[in-house]
Structure 1
């Protein structure tokens, strides 16, 4: 069975190489088991300076076909898996430090491992990431949350 980190590294390298001369870049790679099935999820996004800001199905399809062919050729994943290529989506998870800079001023939904300020879920406007603390504005009050206490932070979908 291929090791998860090895698969992620190989897929990361393949995807970055494939996208190197385009206006699209790799955002993240996940390789995980859900129930009895394995999923290889590749998230792509437009580069910050790209003219077009949204990922279309054609870009996802091109990356999917390329990875499918290359991974079959290299034969590095022993188990059966489902390959999914998509954008991170409107409600994307903020994972990397750069995400906190890119999405300053956006509304975020935060899930905590344990209750802070009386709740395990908090929504507010992202102020930023300072050291290892996430700063958000909630009802005109700045709140600081230790990053290691945050289970997940996503962009909120606001209509």
Structure 2
């Protein structure tokens, strides 16, 4: 593998994470850290979305609260690592701990997302044609147990929630004169 540490990535959403490969941190330390960091995050009002050890960096990405809670989770994770006497950790060269927010993605998933982005333009994709279309571009009105509600140029549309595969914010478009990201 060219000397690079093996990679372990696990997405931790509502369902429990499943870890099949711990890379350089595989074993009891990784198992304990994974469970404990998730529990500590929940106590702080955070949800761990991403957990990885790759190439001398241990990353914990969590969302759901503010910078103070992320700092507290960082202090907790650092103390957990420092207090561990696991041989796996002792055998590794120094590595960096990164505790951060994953930032805002473009997918609208949670109830909170639907409330936050009500009135925003969205692109909805369905698993099967509904009114002869599988892609819908409009303004988000809301979502309930039965329907995704959009406004398409003044026309309300209710798409059955059971066939909605994805709802996302549109990709940002660049305009002439934009210098951001160059």
Q: TM-score, normalised by structure 2?
A: 0.49
Distance 2:81 2:128 in 1: 40
Larger radius of gyration: 2
Distance 2:131 2:79 in 1: 50
* RCO higher in structure (CA 8 A, sep ≥6): 1
Unaligned runs of 5+ in 2: 1-9, 11-15, 20-30, 52-58, 85-97, 174-182
Identify the residue that residue 44 of structure 1 maps to in structure 2: 63
Q: For the Cα contact (< 8 Å) 1:112–1:149, is it kept in 2?
A: yes
1:107 to 121, 125, 129: 121
Larger strand fraction of residues: 1
Count of aligned residue pairs for this structure pair = 131
Identify the residue that residue 133 of structure 1 maps to in structure 2: 147
SS in 2 for 1:14: helix
Q: For the Cα contact (< 8 Å) 2:41–2:48, is it kept in 1?
A: no
SS in 2 for 1:4: coil
Identify the residue that residue 102 of structure 2 maps to in structure 1: 87
Within 5 Å, give how 1:14-25 maps onto structure 2: 14-17=40-43, 19=44
Unaligned runs of 5+ in 1: 20-24, 33-39, 48-54, 75-82
* 2:4 paired with 1:4: no
Distance 1:111 1:14 in 2: 36
Distance 1:87 1:135 in 2: 28
